[in-house]
Amino acid sequence: MLNTKQQEAVNFKNGQMLVVSCPGSGKTTVIVARVHQLIESGVNPSNILIITFTKEAADQMQKRYEKEYGPTQAFFGTIHSICFRVLAKAYNYTKEDILRANEQWEFMFNFLCKKVSSTDLQEYIKNMIAEIGYVRNKGMDYRKYQPEHSEKDIFRATYQAYDEFKKEKNKIDFDDMLVICQKCFREDKENLQYWKNQFTHIMIDEFQDTNSIQADIFYMLAGPDGNLFVVGDDDQSIYKFRSADSSIMLDFPKTFPKCRTIYMDTNYRSGTEVIKYAGNLIRINKNRFEKNFHGFREEQGAVSAIACNGPNEEVDSILKDMNSLRKQGVKYTDMAVLYRTNMENQLLAGKLLKLKVPFYTTEAIKDYHEDFIFQDIMAYYRLSCGNERKGDLQRILNRPSRFLKAEPFKNCSFSKADLFEACKKLGDKSVHAMSKINELLYDIDMLKEQTVPYGFVQSLLSMGYMTFIGKFCEFTGRDLEICMQTLNLLLEEAKEQGSMEEWQAYAKFYSESLQQKKRDKRKDGVCLSTFHSAKGLEWSRVYILNADDGNCPYKKSDDIEEERRLFYVAVTRAKDVCKIFYSGSNGKKKQTPSQFLYEMGLLNTGAKIIKPIIY
C-alpha cells in the first residue's frame, strides 16, 4: 500500500519530476511501481529506461519488477550499459573493444613498479586508477591536476602512458565510454534523436551520485521538455572522490523550471530515536533540500554514544553486546559494524575469527602482519632468542639506520665473530662499523629480557625504531598515517598476547583465516563495512567504531558537509539500535569525541552516555 506522496510519484507520467527520498522511504518500491504504471497507461515497455549506478542494483530492481509484475521489455541498466549501446550503434564497438580490468591493472603494474618506491604497490595502483578516473569524469586538464596519492610528475607520466597504451591496444575503458558518448550526442544530432525516440521515458535512481558528464548525457537524451524522472537523497551524496556532484541534484529545479518536486520524507526503516538523532545531525548542513522527517514505525529504537579506553575496549564492548543479543535469539545477520576507513576492521576481524563468530566484509581485509613493521618485529625477536632465519639480520641491519653498508653483511650470520669479520671489509670505516655492531648487539641483549610482546615492541620503539618508521615513509612514499595506524593495531594486539610465540601463532592463524574468508563468498554472519559500502543496506543493530575527531570527520577530507552526510548514512542504516563508540582516552593519549556526536545531541542533551563494563 503506497502512501499519498509515493502514489503521486507513481502516477506522474509526462514531464520532469524530482523525488527527494529520505532513508527507508521506499524509493525502489516507487520506481518499480511507476514502471508498471507507465506500461499500464500505454507506454511501450521498450521505450522505458531505468538507470541506476551499479549492475547489481539494476539486476535486483529488474528481478523485483519481474517478481511482482512479470517479464518486461523495459531496460534496467547502468549509465555505462546504455553508453555502450550508443557506441555500438554509432561506431560498431563490441565487448572486445573494452579494456578489461586485468589488462588495466597489468599495464599499471608494469609501468609503475620501477618508477615508485612504495612498498604497497597494489594500493598505489588502486589510487592511481581512481584519480585518473576522477580527472576524466570531471573533464579536467590532467596537467593542471594536483594528485593526492602520487607526485605530480608520476601522475602526468602515467596518465599519458595509459592513454597511449589504450590507443595501441585500440581499446577504451569505462571512463572513455562516457566521454565518447557525450561527444557523440553533442556532435551527432541524428544519433541523439535515434536514442531520444528509443527512450521516451527516463528514470534515474540514486541521482545524488551523478557527475557532470553523466548529467549532460541524461539531459541531452531527455531534452529540455522530455520525460525525466529522477530519484535521490541529497543528504546521501557521499561519492565526491568518484567525481559525484551533489549540486547537480540541488540545481535540478533550476535546470528544469517546469519540474515537479515531491519529498518522500516518511522513513519506514528506522525507529523514531534513530530518525531524530540522524535528523539533528544532517540539518547542520547548509547545502541541502530542507526536509521534515517522519517515522512510520511506532517503536522508538535507541541511539547511544559509548566512551571507551582505546580500540580494544571498543571491540570488546561490541563483542559482549553481540554475545548478549545472540542469547536473546538475535541473528548475527541482523548486526553490522561500520567504520570510516577500511583500516579499522582489522582488530575486530581478528577477535571475531578467534571467537569463531561468523562474519563477512564488503571490502577485503588487509593482513597487517604482512606489513614491514610486524615482519621487522619478528626478525628482531628471532635474533634475540637465537632462532635466526636467513635474511633476518639483513632485514633489520639498518632498521633503525646504523649507516652500515649492506654488501659486507650480505651472507653474514648473526654472531659476534661473523659480524666483526664483515666490518673488517669496510677498511677505514671498520671502526665505525664495529661501534654500530656493538650497539646492535647491546640492543638485541636488551630485547632478550622482554618476553611479553607489548614490552618487546615498546623496547624496540625506544631504540630508534619509531624514528625509523617516519624516515622510511618519507623515503619510500608510504603514507605515515597508515603506518602509524598499523603500528597502533599491533600494539593493541600485543597487549593481548602472553608470549612472542603465542603472537607468532596468532599471526599465522589470522593469515590463514583471512585466506579462507577470501575463498568464501557467502554473506553470512555479522557484516563489517565502511560507511561508503554500507549505503543502501540496513540492519536491526548497527555499531559504529572510532567516532573520534580526526576520523569522523576524516582529517584528510576538505568537505565537512560530505563527511557529515557520510556519518548520517552510517547512522540511518540502523532499524532499531545504533551504538556509536568513541575513545575518551587511549592509554595516556586523550581523544576528542567526534563533533558529530555533539551535533546529534548525544553528548550534551542527556541521551545515554555509557561507559561499558568488559568482563
Q: Is 22 annotated as a binding residue?
A: yes
Q: Is 584 annotated as a binding residue?
A: no
Of 45, 44, 47, 50, the residue nearest 62 (C-alpha): 50
Q: Is 52 annotated as a binding residue?
A: no
Give the strand order in the sheet containing 48-51: 75-77, 48-51, 201-204, 227-232, 16-21, 260-264
Phi, psi of 409 (to 5 degrees): -100, 10
Q: How far is CA 451 from each of CA 445, 459, 587, rounded to the nearest angstrom?
A: 12, 11, 21
Round to the nearest angstrom and report the end-to-end CA distance of the chain: 47
How many angstroms from the chain centroid is the CA of residue 324?
29
Task: Quote the cell numbers at residue 63.
Answer: 528481478
Q: How far is CA 2 from each of CA 34, 59, 72, 79, 295, rounded to the nearest angstrom?
A: 11, 23, 22, 28, 15
Residues 418-446: b if buried by 16+ CB within 10 A, e if exposed = ebeebbeebeeebeebbebbeebbebbee
Q: Which residues contact 142 (CB under 8 A, 6 or more apart)?
A: 132, 135, 155, 156, 159
Q: How far apart are CA 113 and CA 92, in angstroms?
A: 35
Query: What is the amino acid identity at position 502?
Result: E
Alpha-carbon torsion 354, 344, 564, 247, what sign?
A: negative
Q: How far apart are CA 351 and CA 447, in angstroms?
A: 27
Q: Is 386 annotated as a binding residue?
A: no
Q: Is 21 annotated as a binding residue?
A: yes
Q: Is 24 annotated as a binding residue?
A: yes
Number of Cβ atoms within 10 Å of the Cβ of 55: 13
Q: Is 385 annotated as a binding residue?
A: no
In terms of phi and psi (left: phi > 0; alpha: psi -120 to 50; beta: otherwise), the region of 473 is alpha
Q: Is 384 annotated as a binding residue?
A: no
Which residues participate in the annotated binding site?
A: 21-28
The binding site for ATP comprises 21-28
